[in-house]
A and B are shown apart, each in its own frame.
Chain A
Amino acid sequence: MAGKIATRNAYGETLVELAEKYPELVVLDADLSGSTMTKFFAAAHPDRFFDCGIAECDMAGIAAGMAADGLKPFINSFAMFSTGRIYEQIRNSIAYPRLNVKVVGSHGGVSVGEDGATHQCIEDFSLMRAIPGMLVCCPCDGNEMRLAVKALMEYDGPAYLRLQRLSTEIFTDELEGYSFQLGKGCTLREGSDVSIIATGLMVSKALQAADMLAAEGISARVINIHTLKPLDDELVLKAARETGCIVTSEEHTVIGGLGSAVCELLGEKCPVPVVRHGVNDVFGRSGSASDVLEYFGLTAQKIAEKAKYALSLKK
């Protein structure tokens, strides 16, 4: 396939593809359909698209009521609002009654860019992971996003899906042995010295970091975790046992996201050094996506540095 696409576009296109097969699929938005890319669905199926206006809390409740009636709603806004602003509505109206609502947060992370800190959600994984029974998913490219949306359509229960604003290369379709299953990570590259466990935008950078490390004679395994919860315990434990140290990488605060999930597991089952790479407990800031990512050290170079640090802790 190759080429570039933002995961939000892949998401929007896939919703349209699924509409015919799933008549119970309905899409709700809160006045951001042009950005969340639900506009494609709105145009194709106006009768099954509900613009709730700038009223995210109500959108969550409406979706809960629809799901109680057997519909399968996907609710959409920027991650900041679809998880942060309406955390409690998701918890009490959707997740507690275990209703089949998919909560979608587009514009996740700092790569939102110019809009700055108020719109750069770096806490969505933590917030959603903390809710009992909530599945949390963050695909790494357009191909994986399409597979994730299809899988979530079949998944019966509350789930959170993070989308990216930024266009990025599609690469998973050309990886040998790649397959997608909710709750299962995949090893994108074998390695024996250190494991880099990454999610979303950081996965392709982790692969680049592994190339840099290889040039220095370090063998780095790269694992893609698209489903942060439930975490693929088996795959993470295997990596810890076989490589003895771990770097986690995410476009998210290092508190409560992928790094925390890996630490929680390994701390109890296989204590090895884990170095968390992400946003270090600070708010985002305005700038072009690439400048902001560079500013926060969300780069392949930085992952490679963290990997060497993890290796030093192992010795």
Chain B
Amino acid sequence: MVKLYGKDLQLMAARARLLAVDAVHTAASGHPGGSLSCMDIMTALYFNELNIDPSNPRWEDRDRFVLSKGHCTPALYSVLALRGFFPIEELKLFRSIKGHMSGHPDMRHVPGVDMSTGSLGQGLSTAVGMALAAKLRNKSHRCYAVCGDGEMEEGQIWEAVMAAAKWHLDNLCVFVDVNGLQIDGRTADVMPTEPLDKKFEAFNWNVIKINGHDFEQIFSALNSARSFKGKPTVILAATVKGKGVSFMENQAGWHGKAPNDEQFAQAKAELEAKIKELEGN
């Protein structure tokens, strides 16, 4: 595959955002807010960073990816579909009894999904296991995970953080999608998780802070993670929940709510305008 950069990535991310919102609208159920906030990260991973092969999803030497914030299937399934792991039409069956596009990632039914997740706090441990397995087998592929900032409230996250440092898993790179919101409101109010940088540093990780919607910063962080030896890397990505759909931005209420027809029409118009703008240049 030709790796995407710059505007091409922005365009792909805009398309993925439209697919994600469309899927949630069609299902009348799902999690748009956090899917939109991590979409630039997901697009950067699937259209540039990850060494994967859609025609051979279980290829042994592929890079691994774990969506620890598993409710953001609209983001994961959209980039997987756009990347060619399965037909885009299957997104119409998101959360439907008629298909296998389950509400949370299902590694047994959705091509390209490396780990079943959904129960917050558990995905990161599995990514640690994958990174350890790669080390044990002297494999050079890398392991990636995306967590939520609200997810940092789960105790198991910090168990995994300790373990990754203990085993010097420099083949592990974790994004935290710091959108600052969770179901019940602002993360700072519900259960403060900051300062995440100081916490990860204290746990012996390589810490990088970026704007999670700036592709240059995302790639710069990924490059630095790849060359950093001896420690796992966490990329603390400041993001906007609901990014790309004006009325969803920075609204905790759009964590797990589907847009109605009217709202979807507006979201679609906004995202199509963005796509057109990017295509035009």
Contacts and interface: CB of A to CB of B under 8 A. Distances in A.
B116 A58 contact: no
Given A65-B132, A68-B114, A93 B126 contact: yes
Interface residues of B, number: 35
A186 interface: no
Contact of B119 (A53, A55, A93): A93
Interface in B35-92: 64, 66
B13 interface: no
A62 B116 contact: no
Contacts of A192: none
Nearest to A88: B119
Interface string A83-98: 0000011001100111
A47 B124 CA distance: 22
27 contacts: A26-B136, A53-B159, A53-B163, A55-B162, A57-B122, A58-B156, A60-B125, A61-B126, A61-B129, A62-B129, A63-B129, A64-B115, A64-B125, A65-B125, A65-B126, A65-B131, A68-B64, A68-B126, A68-B129, A69-B133, A71-B136, A89-B156, A93-B116, A93-B125, A93-B126, A97-B106, A97-B116
Interface in A23-39: 26
Question: 5 smallest A-B Cβ distances: which pairs?
Answer: A65-B129, A61-B125, A58-B159, A55-B159, A65-B126
Contact of A92 (B64, B119, B133, B137): B119
State the main secondary structure of chain A at its contact with B: helix
A48 interface: yes
Nearest to B114: A68
A66 B125 contact: no
Contacts of A47: 136
A221 B134 CA distance: 51
B154 to A, nearest CB: 9
Contacts of B116: 92-93, 96-97
Interface in B213-231: none
Contacts, number: 104
Contacts of B128: 58, 61-62, 65
Interface of B: 64, 66, 106-108, 114-119, 121-134, 136-137, 155-156, 159-160, 162-163, 166-167
A296 interface: no
B159 A66 contact: no
A58 B163 contact: yes
A52 interface: yes
A48 B132 CA distance: 10
Contacts of B136: 26, 47-48, 71
A238 B137 CA distance: 49
A52 B166 CA distance: 9
Contact of A68 (B106, B130, B137): B130
A57 B159 contact: yes
Given A53-B162, A92-B116, A66 B122 contact: no
Interface string A41-56: 0000001101011010
Contacts of A89: 119, 122, 125, 156
B80 to A, nearest CB: 17
Contacts of A71: 133, 136
Interface string A15-28: 00000000000100
A231 B98 CA distance: 33
A97 B129 contact: no
B70 to A, nearest CB: 9
Nearest to A71: B133
Contacts of B117: 93
B133 A97 contact: no
A50 B132 contact: yes
A65 B119 contact: no
Contacts of A63: 129
A67 B114 CA distance: 11
Give the most central of A50, A62, A67, A68: most B CB within 10 Å: A62
